[in-house]
Amino acid sequence: MIAIDEPPHVRRIDTDRDDAYAFEIVGHITSADVENLYGLLEGAYEIHDRIDVIVILHHYEGFDWQAAFKEQTMIGKTHALRHIRKYAFVGGPGWMSSIVSIVRPFFSMEIRHFELDQAEAAWEWIGAAPLKPTTPDEVKAGV
């Protein structure tokens, strides 16, 4: 078995709606994390023309700004503009709310920032809920 130096910073959260996608991001966001996130979203666009997205940021430690200007990232941003109805950002640094307010008029999607303690309100806003993770015992019991 090969040991992984560092776990991925992006984790998908299952939701109660097929067209609602949720992600948890922890720590420093790398170029690989951005590519992973856009790759997951590209898969969603293949299934649904329009989706709602919630991204929950925990323990934010920075962002690889070079990732923002990579060709693949630019393509991902362009596709997002065509496919996302509502985009909720939860948590993150204090300046996140200001950035969302500044860029909101330039997007066709509805976009909002919520503080980490407002995560439930963010879920309500996109009209979805996280599914409880299934434990190995629940899988064995057929739950």
- Domains of the chain, residue spans: 10-141
Q: Encode pLDDT of 97-142 as tens digits.
A: 888 888 777 777 899 999 999 999 999 999 999 998 655 555 455 4
> What per-residue confidence (pLDDT) applies to 121?
97
Q: Encode pLDDT of 73-96 as tens digits.
A: 445 556 567 788 999 999 988 888
CA-wise closest residue to 92 among 67, 117, 110, 109: 117
Q: Encode pLDDT of 55-65 as tens digits.
A: 999 887 777 66
Evaluate if pTM is beyond 0.75.
Answer: yes
Q: Does domain 10-141 have CATH number 3.30.750?
A: yes
Mean pLDDT of the chain: 80
Q: Are 94 and 116 in contact (CB under 8 A)?
A: no
